[in-house]
C-alpha cells in the first residue's frame, strides 16, 4: 500500500468545529433568549389542565372516595379515580423491571404521595381547587420505612395485591464465586470490614415532569409531548401495553430542563393525561408540582451495604464479600436495562486486580416512593463505587498503609487488558496509576500530608480523601442489556442536502448535555462538513430513528458511535460520486478532511460538498440518487472510563462543619469530542457528588412522611456552598468505539462522594471513628468528634410524640 | 380592539373576583383582568406568552422564575400578579437589545454557563441585579449574590465565570 502524504488542502478540524473543538453550544442561542421550548411551553388549542390528588398517608386502605364536590366546581371536565381506571383495565401498569405499579390507587395507598385521583379542568387553578374538594376516607395501616422493618417476621405485607408475595422481599440475587471467596478469606492475613448506608436522594432536575397528551379522534393519532429521556421506549410501552397502533403514536420530548435519570420511568401522570385526552377529546396538560416530583418520582440510592475484604500483609487484596439490602419503595420501579436484579452493583472493584469476590443482594418493598435507580448513576454503579472506595480506605487504614500506595499496589496494570473483573465484567483499557499520579501531583500529596501534620499540632483537623474508579457506561451490548426485551442499541440517520448542508437525527435525547453541538462535531470529523452546516434533531418518534434514549452515560458510547457509522456510510457513497466526478476508479481516490483527490494527482480533487451536489444532479449510471444513511449500533462492550478524585477538607471541631479546601478531578473518558462540554459535565457531576456527601438526602419519619418534600427541606447546594473544581485529563481511547470515546456524564457523581467522605474520615483519624454515613451534616460530624463513635444509617427524624 | 377579532371570554364563575392590572413588561404596558390569586409567573407565561420565565419549585427556593420588578430581583412564583400592578417588570425576553445580546447572555454562552437552560433566565436576571448594585464583584460576591438561584447541571463554576466576564464587558474592559 502506498502511503500518500496529505496535501495541504485538508481542512483544519478545529476550525470547522470537528473533534476536539471546544465549540460554543448551538442550543444556547435559544436558551439565553428565553426561547427554549419545554413541555410547559406547549400550548394547544382547547387544551385542558390536569392536577393529581396524592395520598397524605404512607400506608392506608381506601374505604371510599367522594368526588361529587369536585364535579360541582365550574370548569371541571373530568375526575378520574382508581375505580374508573380499573373499568378500563388501567388502574395498574407494568414497570420497566417486570413489576406492577398502581396508576391510581384502588385497594390501598402504599406510599405518601401516591396518586389517588386526578381532575381535568379548564385551568390548573380550578383543577387544584377540585382536587381539594375530593374526600377520601382512609383506614391507616402500619407503616414500613426501612428494610429492617420490612423483613421483620410480623411485618404487614405491602404488596398484598400480588399473588405469591408472602413477604416484603422483592428479590434475592447473587453473583460471584462463593467457595473461592470463602477460601480467600480463610487464607487472609487481615480481614477488614465496613458497613454503610447510601441514603435516598432525588435527582431533582429543575424542571419537573409533565406531559401534554393530544388524542385526535378523527385520525386516531395520539401525540404526547412529555418529559422523557427515552421517547421511543415510551412509544413501545404504549403500543405494547395499551395496545394502541404504534404508527399512530407520536411521542415528542421537547427541550428538557434536566433529567439525571428522573425522566426515564413512565409515571402515572403521563398515563392519566393520555387517558384524559382520549376521554375528553381535548389536549390535556399535566405539569407536576415540585412536591409531587420529590415525593413520587424516581429517586436514587437508599441502599445498605456491608462487606469485607480479605487482605495479605503486603497489601494485596485477595477477595471481597458484599451484601446489600436495597429499599425499592412500594413498587419495584427501577428503570434499569440489565438482566441483573441489583443493576450493575457488581461492577464494584473493577479497577483493582482481585482474584475472587461474592455478592448477595436483597431488595425489599417499603412504604416509600418507588422509582429505583435513577440519578446520574448507571444502575447501582454509584453505590458500588462508593462502597469500593470506602472499603479500600478502611482496608488501607487497617493495614496501616498509605491510601494512595494501597491503591497503586492493587490497580489493574496498563498492560493487563482486557481484564476480567472479580464479578465477571470485561474491562478493556485504562491508565489507572497514571491518573492517580496526575491527581496526587496536582494536589501536592506529600505537601498536604506535611501541612496536615503541622495543622494537627494546633488542633486543626485536616484530611485528604481519594476515590478512584472505573465504571461501566454505555449500555449495552444487546446480549446482556435490554429493557422489556428491547435490546440496548442506538441509532443515527444522516441526510446530506445538495448544498452540503445536513440534518442528523438520533435515537438519543439531550437534556442539557449539548447533543445538538457535539453530534455535529462527529459528522464534521468524519466528513469534513463544517459543524455549523449540520442541524441535529432528537426526541420526536415520528422523525427520529428508533433508539433507547439518553441515560447511563450511553449517548456518546452508543448513539455517538452510530453517528460515526452513518457518516462513514455517507462517505463511502460520496467516494463513488467523487470517483465519477474525477473520472477515475474508486480505488484511485484518496480522502483528506473535507475532500477526495486522485492519488497520483493530489491537486485534482472534489470537496464533500461537490459530491453532495452530484448526488442530486450528476450521479453516475446505476448509482441511487441522494446522499443519506442510517446506522444502528450495537456496541461490542460497555465503555470503561476512569476517574480519580481527590478532596482536601478542614473540619471545624467546634461545630462539625467541614469545608472543602481543594478538589482535584482527573478524568479519563477516552477521546473528548468537545472538551468544553465534557468539562461542564464533570463539574456538574462533582457538584451532585458534593451535594450527596454534604446535604442532599430524602428521609422519612416513622409514619412515612417524606422529609424532603420541597426545596426548603431538601437541600441542594447553591453557588455559595459549592467548592471550586480543578480538572485534569488523561486520554486512553476506547479500543472498540469508532472514535475512541467513552461515557463521562456520570463519572464524577459516581466517583466523587467517596472522595469527600474519605477526606472527612481521614481528618477524624484517631478519633475512634470508622464511619459517618452520608450526608455528612455538621451535627453528625460533631457527634462523631465529641462522642467518638460511628454515626450510621439514615439521619433520624424525631417526631413530637 | 387591536386584532381582527377578540373572543369575549365567558363571564367568570359567580363569586370569582377579578382585578384589572396594568404592568409595564419589558417596557411595554400590558393590561389584563386577573383573579387576585394569580401568580405573576403565571400571568407572564400563560397570559403574556413570555415563556422564558420558568417555574421550578413553587416555594421561592430555586429562582428559575426570577424577574426584575422595578430593577430588583423577585421570584415571580410567589408574587401575585396584582402586586405587580403599576410596576415595571423585566423578563429574559427583555434582556437583549434590538440588534445585540446583553453581555450576560454573551457571557453565559461563551463560558458554557448553562446546560439544560432551565435556570438560565432567572440566573441572568439575578446576575443583572447583582451587577447593577456591584459592577465589579469578586468571585465570592458573585457566588453569594446568586445563592438564591439553583442550577442542577453546571456546578456553578462556569456561571460565576460568565457573570465575571459580563461584568468586565459592562465596565468596558473587554
Inter-chain residue contact A719 with B55, CB threshold 8 Å: no
List A101, A112, A195, A229, catalytic entry: A229
Helix axes A432-443, A403-410, angle to 10 degrees: 160
Residues near B124 by beta carbon (within 8 Å), at least 6 away in sequence: A32, B92, B95, B102, B104, B105, B108
> What integer pLDDT is reported at residue B27 of this predicted model?
97
| pLDDT score of A2 more than 80 | no
ipTM score for this prediction: 0.96
> What integer pLDDT is reported at residue A1 of this predicted model?
46
CA A312 to chain centre: 36
Mean pLDDT is lowest, of A539-553, B11-25, B139-153, for B11-25
Nearest-CB residue to A74 (from B13, B55, B61): B13
> What integer pLDDT is reported at residue A335 of this predicted model?
72
Interatomic CA distance for residues A181 and A539, integer angstroms: 46
Average pLDDT score, chain A = 95
Interatomic CA distance for residues A450 and A452, integer angstroms: 5
B56-104 pLDDT tens trace: 999 999 999 999 999 999 999 999 999 999 999 999 999 998 899 999 9
Band of residue A796 on the pLDDT scale cut at 50, 70, 90: low
List Cα–Cα distances, A545 to A161, A493, A537, A638, in angstroms.
38, 7, 10, 22
Inter-chain residue contact A687 with B143, CB threshold 8 Å: no
| pLDDT score of B6 more than 80 | no
What is the per-residue DSSP string for A695-747?
T---EE-TT--EE-SSTTTS----TTTPPP-EEEE-----SSSTT-B---TTH
Give the largest CA-CA distance in chain A. Answer: 90
Nearest-CB residue to B59 (from A30, A687, A710): A710
Cell of A555: 449517548
> What integer pLDDT is reported at residue A480 of this predicted model?
83
Q: Which residue in B46, B77, B118, B161 has the most chain A C-beta atoms within 10 A of its own C-beta, making it the best mutation to test that interface?
A: B118
Q: Is A670 left (phi over 0), alpha (psi -120 to 50) or beta?
A: left
> What integer pLDDT is reported at residue A190 of this predicted model?
98
Which chain A residues touch B64 with a CB distance below 8 Å? 206
Residues near A218 by beta carbon (within 8 Å), at least 6 away in sequence: none
List A362, A376, A380, A672, catalytic entry: A376
List Cα–Cα distances, A425 to A417, A471, A712, B146, in angstroms.
12, 10, 42, 44
CA A311 to chain centre: 33
Contact (CB, 8 A) for A370 and A266:
no
Inter-chain residue contact B13 with A75, CB threshold 8 Å: yes
pLDDT average, residue stretch A530-555: 96
**Cβ neighbours of A218 (radius 10 Å):** 6
Alpha-carbon torsion angle A344, A345, A348, A350, nearest 10: -10
B109-161 pLDDT tens trace: 999 999 999 999 999 999 999 999 999 999 999 999 999 999 999 999 999 99
How close does chain A come to B128, measured CA to CA in Å?
13
pLDDT average, residue stretch A231-259: 93
Interchain contact A659–B (C-beta under 8 A): no
Q: Which helix (H) or strand (E) holds A51?
A: strand A48-54
Burial of B15 (0-12, 13-18, 19+ CB in 10 A): exposed
Q: Partners of A120 in the beta sheet?
A: A50, A78
A587-598 pLDDT tens trace: 999 999 999 999
Which chain A residues touch B157 with a CB distance below 8 Å? 683, 722, 724-725
Return the residue of B nearest to A293 by Cα: B57
Interatomic CA distance for residues A147 and A536, integer angstroms: 46
Inter-chain residue contact B64 with A204, CB threshold 8 Å: no
| pLDDT score of A498 more than 50 | yes
Nearest-CB residue to A686 (from B52, B149, B155): B155
Which chain A residues touch B105 with a CB distance below 8 Å? 32-33
| pLDDT score of A6 more than 70 | no
**Cβ neighbours of A257 (radius 10 Å):** 28
Burial of A306 (0-12, 13-18, 19+ CB in 10 A): middle
Interchain contact A453–B (C-beta under 8 A): no
How close does chain B come to A724, measured CA to CA in Å?
7
Contact (CB, 8 A) for A458 and A466:
no
A76-86 pLDDT tens trace: 999 999 999 99
Residues near A134 by beta carbon (within 8 Å), at least 6 away in sequence: A53, A65, A66, A67, A69, A70, A79, A116, A117, A119
Q: Partners of A357 in the beta sheet?
A: A320
Interatomic CA distance for residues B122 and B75, integer angstroms: 8
3-state helix, strand, coil split of chain B in percent (to 5) is: 35, 15, 50
pLDDT average, residue stretch A450-457: 97
Residues 237-296 of A with CB under 8 A from B: 255-258, 260, 289-291
> What integer pLDDT is reported at residue B98 of this predicted model?
87
| pLDDT score of A798 more than 70 | no
Interchain contact A24–B (C-beta under 8 A): yes
> What integer pLDDT is reported at residue A242 of this predicted model?
79
Return the residue of A nearest to B95 by Cα: A33
Active site residue A229: yes
How close does chain B come to A679, measured CA to CA in Å?
9
Return the residue of B nearest to A719 by Cα: B143
List Cα–Cα distances, B142 to A718, A724, B145, in angstroms.
11, 13, 5
Q: Which residue in A31, A229, A294 has the most chain B C-beta atoms within 10 A of its own C-beta, making it the best mutation to test that interface?
A: A31
Q: Partners of A419 in the beta sheet?
A: A427
Under DSSP, is residue A757 helix (H, G, I), strand (E, B) or coil?
Answer: helix
Percent of chain A's residues with pLDDT above 90 = 91
Amino acid at each position: 500500500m502506498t502511503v500518500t502524504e496529505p496535501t495541504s488542502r485538508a481542512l483544519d478540524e478545529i476550525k470547522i468545529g470537528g473533534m476536539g473543538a471546544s465549540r460554543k453550544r448551538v442550543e444556547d442561542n435559544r436558551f439565553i433568549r428565553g426561547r427554549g421550548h419545554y413541555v410547559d411551553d406547549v400550548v394547544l388549542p382547547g387544551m385542558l389542565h390536569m392536577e393529581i390528588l396524592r395520598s397524605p398517608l404512607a400506608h392506608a386502605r381506601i374505604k371510599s372516595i367522594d368526588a361529587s364536590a369536585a364535579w360541582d366546581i365550574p370548569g371541571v371536565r373530568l375526575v378520574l379515580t382508581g375505580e374508573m381506571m380499573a373499568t378500563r383495565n388501567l388502574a395498574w401498569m407494568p414497570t420497566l423491571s417486570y413489576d406492577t405499579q398502581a396508576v391510581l390507587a384502588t385497594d390501598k395507598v402504599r406510599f405518601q404521595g401516591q396518586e389517588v385521583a386526578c381532575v381535568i379542568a379548564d385551568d390548573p387553578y380550578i383543577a387544584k381547587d377540585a382536587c381539594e374538594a375530593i374526600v377520601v376516607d382512609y383506614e391507616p395501616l402500619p407503616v414500613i420505612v426501612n428494610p429492617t422493618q420490612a423483613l421483620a417476621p410480623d411485618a404487614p405485607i405491602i404488596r398484598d395485591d400480588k399473588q405469591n408475595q408472602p413477604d416484603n422481599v422483592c428479590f434475592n440475587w447473587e453473583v460471584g464465586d462463593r467457595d473461592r471467596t470463602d477460601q480467600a478469606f480463610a487464607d487472609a492475613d487481615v480481614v477488614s470490614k465496613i458497613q454503610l448506608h447510601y441514603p435516598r436522594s432525588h435527582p431533582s432536575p429543575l424542571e419537573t415532569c409533565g406531559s401534554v397528551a393530544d388524542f385526535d379522534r378523527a385520525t386516531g393519532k395520539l401525540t404526547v409531548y412529555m418529559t422523557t429521556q427515552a421517547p421511543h421506549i415510551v412509544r413501545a410501552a404504549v403500543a405494547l401495553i395499551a395496545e394502541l397502533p404504534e404508527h399512530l403514536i407520536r411521542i415528542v420530548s421537547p427541550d428538557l430542563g434536566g433529567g439525571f435519570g428522573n425522566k426515564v420511568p413512565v409515571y402515572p401522570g403521563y398515563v392519566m393525561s393520555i387517558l384524559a385526552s382520549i376521554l375528553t377529546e381535548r389536549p390535556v396538560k399535566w405539569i407536576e408540582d415540585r412536591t409531587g416530583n420529590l415525593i413520587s418520582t424516581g429517586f436514587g440510592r437508599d441502599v445498605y451495604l456491608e462487606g469485607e475484604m480479605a487482605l495479605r500483609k503486603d497489601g494485596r487484596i485477595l477477595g471481597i464479600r458484599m451484601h446489600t439490602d436495597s429499599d425499592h419503595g412500594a413498587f419495584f420501579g427501577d428503570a434499569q436495562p440489565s438482566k441483573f436484579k441489583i443493576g450493575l452493583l457488581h461492577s464494584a472493584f473493577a479497577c483493582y486486580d482481585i482474584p475472587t469476590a461474592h455478592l448477595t443482594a436483597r431488595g425489599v418493598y417499603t412504604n416509600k416512593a418507588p422509582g429505583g435507580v435513577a440519578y446520574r448513576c448507571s444502575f447501582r454503579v454509584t453505590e458500588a463505587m462508593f462502597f469500593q472506595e470506602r472499603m479500600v480506605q478502611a482496608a488501607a487504614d487497617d493495614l496501616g498503609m498509605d491510601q494512595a500506595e494501597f491503591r497503586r499496589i492493587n490497580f489493574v496494570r496498563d498492560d493487563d487488558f482486557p481484564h476480567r473483573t472479580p464479578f465477571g465484567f470485561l474491562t478493556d483499557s485504562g491508565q489507572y496509576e497514571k491518573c492517580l499520579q496526575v491527581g496526587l501531583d496536582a494536589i501536592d500529596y506529600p505537601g498536604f500530608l506535611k501541612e496536615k501534620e503541622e495543622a494537627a499540632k494546633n488542633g486543626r483537623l485536616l484530611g485528604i480523601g481519594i476515590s478512584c474508579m472505573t465504571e461501566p457506561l454505555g449500555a449495552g451490548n444487546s446480549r446482556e442489556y435490554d429493557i422489556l426485551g428491547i435490546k440496548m442499541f442506538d441509532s443515527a440517520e444522516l441526510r446530506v442536502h445538495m448544498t452540503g448542508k445536513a440534518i442528523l437525527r438520533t435515537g438519543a435525547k439531550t437534556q442539557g448535555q449539548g447533543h445538538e453541538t457535539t453530534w455535529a462535531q462527529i459528522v464534521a470529523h468524519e466528513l469534513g462538513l463544517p459543524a455549523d452546516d449540520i442541524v441535529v434533531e432528537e426526541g420526536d418518534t415520528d422523525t427520529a430513528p428508533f433508539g433507547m434514549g439518553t441515560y447511563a452515560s450511553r449517548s456518546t458510547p452508543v448513539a455517538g458511535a452510530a453517528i460515526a457509522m452513518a457518516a462513514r456510510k455517507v462517505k463511502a457513497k460520496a467516494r463513488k460520486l467523487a470517483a465519477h466526478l474525477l473520472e477515475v476508479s474508486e480505488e484511485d481516490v484518496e480522502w483528506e478532511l473535507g475532500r477526495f483527490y486522485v492519488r497520483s494527482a493530489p491537486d485534482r480533487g472534489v470537496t464533500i460538498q461537490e459530491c453532495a451536489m452530484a448526488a442530486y444532479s450528476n450521479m453516475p449510471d446505476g448509482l441511487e440518487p441522494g446522499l443519506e444513511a442510517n446506522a444502528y449500533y450495537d456496541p461490542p462492550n460497555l465503555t470503561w472510563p476512569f476517574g480519580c478524585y481527590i478532596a482536601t477538607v478542614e473540619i471545624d471541631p467546634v461545630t462539625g462543619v467541614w469545608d472543602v479546601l481543594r478538589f482535584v478531578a482527573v478524568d479519563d473518558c477516552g477521546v473528548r469530542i468537545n472538551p468544553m462540554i465534557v468539562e461542564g459535565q464533570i463539574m456538574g457531576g462533582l457538584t451532585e457528588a458534593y451535594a450527596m456527601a454534604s446535604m442532599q438526602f430524602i428521609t422519612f419519619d416513622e409514619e412515612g412522611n417524606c422529609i424532603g418534600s420541597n426545596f426548603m427541606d431538601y437541600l441542594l447546594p447553591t453557588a455559595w456552598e459549592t467548592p471550586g473544581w480543578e480538572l485534569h485529563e488523561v486520554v486512553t481511547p476506547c479500543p472498540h468505539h469508532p472514535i475512541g470515546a467513552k461515557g463521562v456524564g456520570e463519572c464524577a457523581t459516581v466517583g466523587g462522594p467517596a472522595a469527600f467522605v474519605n477526606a472527612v474520615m481521614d481528618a477524624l483519624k484517631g478519633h475512634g471513628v470508622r464511619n459517618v454515613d452520608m450526608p455528612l451534616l455538621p451535627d453528625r460530624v460533631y457527634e462523631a468528634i465529641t462522642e467518638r463513635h460511628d454515626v450510621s444509617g439514615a439521619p433520624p427524624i424525631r417526631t413530637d410524640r | 380592539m387591536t386584532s381582527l377579532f377578540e373572543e369575549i371570554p365567558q363571564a367568570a364563575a359567580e363569586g370569582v373576583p377579578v382585578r384589572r392590572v396594568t404592568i409595564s413588561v419589558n417596557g411595554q404596558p400590558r393590561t389584563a383582568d386577573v383573579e387576585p390569586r394569580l401568580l405573576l409567573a403565571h400571568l407572564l407565561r400563560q397570559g403574556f406568552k413570555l415563556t422564558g420565565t420558568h417555574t421550578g419549585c413553587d416555594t421561592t427556593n430555586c429562582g428559575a422564575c426570577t424577574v426584575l420588578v422595578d430593577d430588583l430581583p423577585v421570584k415571580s412564583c410567589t408574587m401575585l400578579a396584582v402586586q405587580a400592578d403599576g410596576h415595571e417588570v423585566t423578563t429574559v425576553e427583555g434582556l437583549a437589545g434590538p440588534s445585540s445580546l446583553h453581555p450576560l447572555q454573551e457571557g453565559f454562552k461563551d463560558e458554557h454557563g448553562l446546560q439544560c437552560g432551565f435556570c438560565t433566565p432567572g440566573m441572568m436576571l439575578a446576575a443583572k441585579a447583582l451587577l447593577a448594585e456591584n459592577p465589579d464583584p469578586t468571585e465570592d460576591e458573585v457566588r453569594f449574590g446568586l445563592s438564591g438561584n439553583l442550577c442542577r447541571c453546571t456546578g456553578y463554576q462556569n456561571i460565576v465565570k460568565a457573570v465575571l466576564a459580563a461584568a468586565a464587558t459592562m465596565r468596558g474592559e473587554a
